Amino acid sequence: MGQLYYISTLEWNEFLKSSLPEWSLYAPVRQDKNLAFERLSENNFNSVELDSYRATQPLKSFLFFFYEQITNIKKYPNMRGSAVLGLKACDLNSLQLYDKTFLEGEFAEPFYKRRRQDLLLISSDCQKPIESCFCTVLGANPYPEEYFDINISRISAGYIVDINSEAGEEFIKSKKDFFKKVVDRSILMKREAKRRAAVETVEGFNSHFDIKAPFLNMLRQKLMSKVWNEQSKTCVTCGACTQICPTCYCFLIEDVKSDKFRYWDSCQYTGFARVAGNANPRKKVYERLRHRYLHKFDYIHESFGFDGCTGCGRCIQACQGKIDMRKVLSELKKDPVNSNA
Amino acid sequence: MLNPYESQDAKVEDIITETSNIKTFALKLNEKMSFLTGQFVELGIKGLSEAPFTPSSSPYETDRMEVTIMKAGCLTEKFHDLKKSSTVTIRGPYGKGYPIEQMYGKEVLITGGGVGMAPLRSFLLTLLEQRDKFKRIILCYGSKSPQDIVYKDQFADWMKNPALEIYRSVDKADSSWNETKGVVTVLLDKVKVNLKNSVAVVCGPPIMMKFATMKLINLGHKDENIYLSMEKNMSCGLGKCGHCGIGKYYVCQDGPVFTYDQIKNNQEIWD
Ligand SMILES: Cc1cc2nc3c(=O)[nH]c(=O)nc-3n(C[C@H](O)[C@H](O)[C@H](O)COP(=O)(O)OP(=O)(O)OC[C@H]3O[C@@H](n4cnc5c(N)ncnc54)[C@H](O)[C@@H]3O)c2cc1C
Ligand code: SF4
Ligand code: FES
């Protein structure tokens, strides 16, 4: 926990408006049933919803673009002066895997690295989780605990503002007098109560699934389960689950004339693992679905000690075939097969 | 900042036709690239695509690099159409290479099939540079027919070399063939190695790797002493794009050579 301040909603809004000329701010804006990130302006300012639940686009879309040129780069991307607001715990938690994959190892992903250094991350507590949310199943909480520069928690007529980095400190500097140091601890009790309530809401949504991470040992017993085939029957291999997933990072490099471009790929596509002579270790839809679960909950867990899923539930909402990760996991858990070959 | 996606140009200095569908390309790189035997490079044709290939030349030869390519699809067909002096792109080297030092003092049993001889030639040439460090070097090589044998001239030299024991087989023999007939695993029955002090190195088409590995295990070789080259789909070569996964490993970063022990529990290794 960094430095804690309190700011009234009125002053917070005034502060944000005053930042508009200098900063590119992106925030979740209500669009029918969903929240979508939009560049903040005077026009959409009143439709911003910072405190409900995660927006439709995953955080990766700001740091690791869907399609971009990666060779013959004259000038690297620069995101200084950009900030995303209204990020949720399940957005931020995806950075654990992204940082591991793209910043560590022999090579760093140069585009991600730049944007990750530059982009200011302003998160907030979830106060209206939705039915597809299952962060608590993954052992996480519906309020940010790390990876943010600034986190705001709504308390009646204002926010508790948690400043977690120098960049965060810098961001509020221009209106520093709006931010009052928290001295009255009772306000923190209020935040705690709201946080508890959100945890209980999410737990309530998931109580009938009877699943709890980690899943690696369970999955290793169910490699041959018929559940994979049953649950993948409605999959149309559109790849929506991976595109919308905050932790999925797979990509493909494509030559266009004398430049190379990189775009998000999906392990759910038929050709993802295909090798010369049309040999393919994952020809069947269920094999690809299984691979996705094994990658997230077994391989990543074994390598890094955490899961490749943050429980944001986007894949559940995006799936054309109504495949629900929680259902798949609970059906697997129930299936009595016990085999690993 | 260094851009790992950027490749350099290389000039095709020479093209050697090995068989009806395999050619070796001798490349002159703008900037020298040193590599460990068993590491691979991403080789491409501008505007088309790139694919992983393992240099088949010795890492001790630093002036030019040779890559042996079998016609298998889009890119490899275009490679076969290239003429001398064409320009290709190259980046790398990637992956880990063979753990040569762990093989010091041991009998090294090499099993290869088809174009799988490409990395094995580089490996063999590396062993020959330091021949006295190894107890024995045995090579079992299988191909479809006598015409499908790669590096024909070099094989003739190797077979005269007393420092090497070479066994070859072909699936389909003709009247000129006086060596073994059959799949490469029949050769493994012929060689006797000291199982307590040996390693086995295998590279070839998936089906051959599978049967060779099973055979080696039957003969008493230990899982951790069998080294396999895994061919998986690759895009980045950098351990980022997720294409080359086998379980928790990325072939481009943790391989391409694995011991059987490392990967045997994965259901996808032979596909
Ligand atoms: C580490 C490693 C070393 C290799 N070394 C050699 C070698 O020394 N000599 C040799 O002849 N071959 C080698 N191969 C195999 C070689 O990479 C494939 O034959 C080649 O990728 C086929 O390309 P293509 O476009 O001609 O085939 P196609 O089948 O036409 O490929 C079309 C598409 O399929 C996909 N694809 C197919 N195979 C692969 C692959 N292996 N990796 C990524 N994408 C693929 C790609 O999307 C590609 O664009 C190696 C493979 C690996 C993984
Ligand atoms: S999954 Fe959890 S953190 Fe994400 S939006 Fe829902 S409640 Fe918030
Ligand atoms: S080829 Fe991209 S991760 Fe291995």
In this structure, the answer to whether residues A309 and A166 fall within a common structural domain is: no
Report yes or no on A59 lying in a domain. Answer: yes
In this structure, the answer to whether residues A53 and A185 fall within a common structural domain is: yes
Question: Which atom of ligand 2 is nearest to A93's Cα?
Answer: 3
Domain that holds residue A257: 216-334
Report yes or no on A210 lying in a domain. Answer: no
Q: Say yes or no: B101 contacts chain A, CB-CB below 8 A.
A: no
Q: Report CA(A22)–ligand 2 centroid distance (Å).
A: 30
Sheet of A24-31, strand order: A34-39, A24-31, A82-87, A120-124, A150-155, A158-163, A3-8, A180-181
- CB distance B69 to ligand 3 below 6 Å: no
In this structure, the answer to whether residues A261 and A225 fall within a common structural domain is: yes
In this structure, the answer to whether residues A42 and A190 fall within a common structural domain is: yes
Neighbour tally for B171: CB within 10 Å: 14
Q: Report CA(A313)–ligand 2 centroid distance (Å).
A: 8
Please give the pLDDT value at position A341: 46
Q: Is the pLDDT of residue A107 over 90?
A: yes
Q: Is the pLDDT of residue A185 over 90?
A: no
Q: What is the ipTM of this complex?
A: 0.92
Domain covering B8-94 assigned CATH 2.40.170.20 in the classification: no
Q: Which CATH class is domain B100-229?
A: alpha beta
- CB distance A309 to ligand 2 below 6 Å: no
Select from A205, A226, A242 the last residue of a domain. A205
Please give the pLDDT value at position A324: 97
Q: Do A252 and B253 touch (CB under 8 A)?
A: no
Q: Which helix (H) or strand (E) holds B212?
A: helix B206-218
Q: Is the pLDDT of residue A256 over 90?
A: yes
Contact between residue A102 and residue A108 where contact means Cβ atoms under 8 Å apart: yes
In this structure, the answer to whether residues A184 and A287 fall within a common structural domain is: no
Q: What average pLDDT score do residues A23-43 get?
A: 95
In this structure, the answer to whether residues A25 and A105 fall within a common structural domain is: yes
Q: What average pLDDT score do residues A217-224 get?
A: 93
> Which tokens sit at A282?
């994952």
The proportion of chain A whose per-residue pLDDT surpasses 90, expressed as a percent, equals 89
Q: What's the domain count of chain A?
A: 2
Q: Is the pLDDT of residue A340 over 60?
A: no
How far is the C-alpha of B219 from the C-alpha of B213, rounded, in Å? 10
Please give the pLDDT value at position A339: 61
Select from A163, A181, A205 the last residue of a domain. A205
Q: Is the pLDDT of residue A123 over 90?
A: yes
With a cut of 50, list the residues of chain B below it in pLDDT. Answer: none
Report the half-sphere exposure of B199 (CA within 13 A, side-chain side): 22
In this structure, the answer to whether residues A115 and A252 fall within a common structural domain is: no
Q: Do A71 and B73 touch (CB under 8 A)?
A: no
**A298 DSSP assignment:** I
In this structure, the answer to whether residues A225 and A148 fall within a common structural domain is: no
Q: Is the pLDDT of residue A104 over 90?
A: yes
Domain ranges across chain B: 8-94, 100-229
**Interface A-B: count of C-beta contacts within 8 A:** 106
> Which tokens sit at A329?
């996991």
- CB distance B93 to ligand 1 below 6 Å: no
Q: Say yes or no: B235 contacts chain A, CB-CB below 8 A.
A: yes
In this structure, the answer to whether residues A163 and A27 fall within a common structural domain is: yes
In this structure, the answer to whether residues A299 and A184 fall within a common structural domain is: no
A215-236 as b/e: b if 16+ CB within 10 A: bbebbebbbebebbeebbeebe
Please give the pLDDT value at position B267: 78
Q: Do A282 and B241 touch (CB under 8 A)?
A: no
Select from A178, A205, A232 the last residue of a domain. A205
Residues of B in contact with A257 (CB under 8 A): 47
Please give the pLDDT value at position A1: 57
In this structure, the answer to whether residues A274 and A187 fall within a common structural domain is: no
- CB distance B184 to ligand 1 below 6 Å: no
**To test the ligand 1 pocket, which listed residue (B43, B68, B231) has its Cβ within 8 A of the most ligand atoms?**
B231
Q: Say yes or no: A21 contacts chain B, CB-CB below 8 A.
A: no
Please give the pLDDT value at position A74: 86
In this structure, the answer to whether residues A183 and A247 fall within a common structural domain is: no
How far is the C-alpha of B204 from the C-alpha of B206, rounded, in Å? 6
Report yes or no on A211 lying in a domain. Answer: no
Report yes or no on A177 lying in a domain. Answer: yes
Please give the pLDDT value at position B266: 84
Q: What average pLDDT score do residues A178-206 get?
A: 95
Max alpha carbon distance in chain B (Å)?
60
- CB distance B70 to ligand 1 below 6 Å: yes
Neighbour tally for A252: CB within 10 Å: 19
Q: Say yes or no: B73 contacts chain A, CB-CB below 8 A.
A: yes
